[in-house]
Amino acid sequence: MDRTLANFIRALRNSEVRISTAETLDAFNAVELVGYKDRAFLKRSLSIVLPKTADEKETFDNCFDQFFSIDDIRGETESAAADADEEHGDAEGGDGEGGGAGGDPDQQSRGANAASNNKKKKSKGALSAAEEAEEPDLGPGEMSEAASNLGQLLLLDSRVELTVAMAAAGEAVDLIEIQVFTQKGLYTRRIMEQMGLVDLNREISTLRDSDRVPDRRLGQELRRRRDWLREQIRDYVEKQFLLHADASGKRLREELLRKVKLSNVEHRSFRLIQEIVYKMAKRLSSLHSRRKKVFKRGQLNITRTLRKNMSYDGAIFDLQWKSVKIDRPKVFAICDVSGSVANYARFMLMFLYSLEDVMPKVRSFAFSSDLAEVTDLFDRNSIEDAIAKTLRDYGGGSTDYGQALQDFKKLCLDDIDNRTTIIILGDARNNYGDPRTDIMKELYDRCKRLIWLNPEPRSSWTVGDAEMRKYTAYCHQADECNSLMHLERVVGNLLRSVN
């Protein structure tokens, strides 16, 4: 029972319900008191100690109903012949989804031989080609007794025993470790083999070659029930996948999108990319928005301690410790929004403006040739709408970094001081124009930090019309930045370094 609760808590965590070690121990204590007999009482008890927010309570309810449900596995002999061709190939002929080649299901009917007119791939425990050949249905009548354990279980028509056997087999093959949907056929086959598929197939093969009609009739019945059981197990595996691996699959996709080049992201993935950006921003915001509290340990501040204790005639009663005050940075973001780097600018602006709790003083500028401030667009519109308008209004034209730097100097040179961080996003390809490195030097001397993020690999920074070599001399930091992982690292380092 302890393992059952542990697996349930694992499923909750997989569904992004935060559960601490202390809450886990509380859940074990609650189950020890209430037991598993009353399902409703168990659910109410666990809902008190595990979920904390309204969203988590809703997730808990769904997860509990799915985890502690008992599938309606009936002991009926309904044939799954219409779907058995595809399912049989998955379960016995391959390790992944779609492992076998099936026949035409339209030519099969209810109660017909589930394995007729199919050519399957052979694997451990699979029937031979001769056993899959067409055989006339012998109909109802006297049948022999099944010898294999799985055969006897199928003929019992016991929903409870089949459910228990299926769950035990799923636990034995570590079904909770399923990660991707294409493993469904693999785990279906493993569960059937754990339940005794090899012995059942061997018995069916022996019964088919028997001269006695009751034996052949039993063989046909076992084949029909075997294919019906396979369908039930596939449904069970699919439900377990949704319970244990759905969130893991989403996290896997998110992890891949964090590493992929933003220029290669398909438009249909933009919504998920936006969710990832907001999560990253929220994480950085919660990490860096905490003000340092009064320290109760660390390095002693001698001057403040002496001053604080002057009223005690030199006796030290009130110790004062050194602390660091976190000062929020003033950020100027200059983005090249020409076609070659538009996607990078989109997500960098989204990232910066999602950090409003930590960096409330973001001023953004966009250019392809002439540069303009777009801060007001973000003040009046949502982040998505403001980014769309910025790319639409300023994304045309031939890239001219020299003109953009000159425009930036006219707009806000006087606003740059020793608390200012300037972030420039662009490939530094200037179409062989004047790079205006003199303005870069002036910005470098006035600001606290100048960071250049180039989406191109470093090997391309000096190729063709790229002016990156000249600009790098006047940057405090110049990095390759073409993925969300790079962007998160750069912004995280910025927040850690600003004191």
pLDDT digits (tens, 9 = 90+) for 82-108: 343 444 444 344 443 333 333 333 333
The pLDDT > 90 percentage for the chain reads 10
pLDDT, tens digit, 9 for 90 and up, residues 459-496:
889 888 889 999 999 999 898 888 888 888 887 777 76
Of 417, 330, 331, 404, whose CA–CA distance to 367 is shortest? 404
Q: Which two tokens stand for residue 164?
A: 């228990």
Give the model's pLDDT for residue 440.
Answer: 94
For 104, half-sphere exposure in the C-beta direction (CA atoms, 13 angstrom radius) is 2
CA–CA separation, 407 and 369 (whole Å): 10
Give the model's pLDDT for residue 121.
Answer: 38
Give the model's pLDDT for residue 358.
Answer: 62
Give the model's pLDDT for residue 110.
Answer: 35
> b/e per residue, 241-250, with b = 16+ CB within 10 A?
bebbbebbee
Give the model's pLDDT for residue 217.
Answer: 83
CA–CA separation, 102 and 89 (whole Å): 7
Is residue 395 predicted with pLDDT exceeding 60? yes
CA–CA separation, 166 and 172 (whole Å): 10
**What is the pTM (predicted TM-score) of this model?**
0.50
CA–CA separation, 336 and 340 (whole Å): 9
CA–CA separation, 282 and 445 (whole Å): 32
Who's near 437: CB < 8 A, 6+ residues apart?
470, 471, 473, 474
**Kind plus residue range of the DSSP H or E element containing 129:** none
Identity at 490, one-letter amino acid code: V
Beta bridge partners of 478: 452
Residues present in the chain in total = 499
Q: Cβ distance 183 to 93 under 8 Å?
A: no
CA–CA separation, 365 and 361 (whole Å): 13
Give the model's pLDDT for residue 92.
Answer: 41
Give 409's pLDDT tier (boundaries 50, 70, 90). Answer: very high
pLDDT, tens digit, 9 for 90 and up, residues 4-21:
788 788 778 777 778 888
Q: Which two tokens stand for residue 9?
A: 């808590």
Is residue 260 predicted with pLDDT exceeding 90? no
The arithmetic mean of pLDDT across residues 430-459, rounded, is 91
Across 29-43, 140-154, 342-356, 357-371, the highest mean pLDDT is recorded for 29-43
Beta bridge partners of 332: 363, 422
Give the model's pLDDT for residue 498.
Answer: 52
Give 38's pLDDT tier (boundaries 50, 70, 90). Answer: confident
> b/e per residue, 313-330, with b = 16+ CB within 10 A?
eeeeeeebeeeeebebbb
Give 113's pLDDT tier (boundaries 50, 70, 90). Answer: very low
DSSP 150-166: HHHHHHTT-HHHHHHHH
Is residue 124 predicted with pLDDT exceeding 50? no
pLDDT, tens digit, 9 for 90 and up, residues 309-356:
888 877 887 887 776 555 566 889 899 988 768 778 888 888 777 776
Give the strand order in the sheet containing 449-454: 371-373, 361-367, 330-336, 420-425, 449-454, 477-480
Q: Which two tokens stand for residue 346?
A: 């989109």
Q: Of residues 405 and 119, which shows the higher confidence score?
A: 405
Give 63's pLDDT tier (boundaries 50, 70, 90). Answer: confident
Q: List the alpha helices (DSSP H) in 173-308.
A: 184-195, 197-208, 213-244, 246-259, 270-288, 302-308
From 52-61, 103-112, 288-297, 475-484, the region with the lowest mean pLDDT: 103-112
SS3 assignment, position 421: strand
The arithmetic mean of pLDDT across residues 364-378, rounded, is 88
Who's near 231: CB < 8 A, 6+ residues apart?
80, 83, 84, 87
Phi, psi of 288 (to 5 degrees): -110, -5
Give the model's pLDDT for residue 242.
Answer: 65
Of 77, 211, 193, whose CA–CA distance to 144 is shortest? 211
Domain range annotation of the chain: 2-67, 81-249, 330-497
Q: Which two tokens stand for residue 417?
A: 């001081």
Is residue 292 predicted with pLDDT exceeding 70? no
Fold of 330-497: Rossmann fold (3.40.50)
Give 134's pLDDT tier (boundaries 50, 70, 90). Answer: low
Q: List the alpha helices (DSSP H) in 76-148.
A: 81-93
Q: Which two tokens stand for residue 156?
A: 């019992």
Give the model's pLDDT for residue 266.
Answer: 62
Give 109's pLDDT tier (boundaries 50, 70, 90). Answer: very low
Q: Cβ distance 231 to 154 under 8 Å?
A: no
Q: Which two tokens stand for residue 76?
A: 């009926």
Average pLDDT of the residues of the chain:
75
Is residue 79 predicted with pLDDT exceeding 60? no
pLDDT, tens digit, 9 for 90 and up, residues 151-169:
888 888 777 788 778 878 8
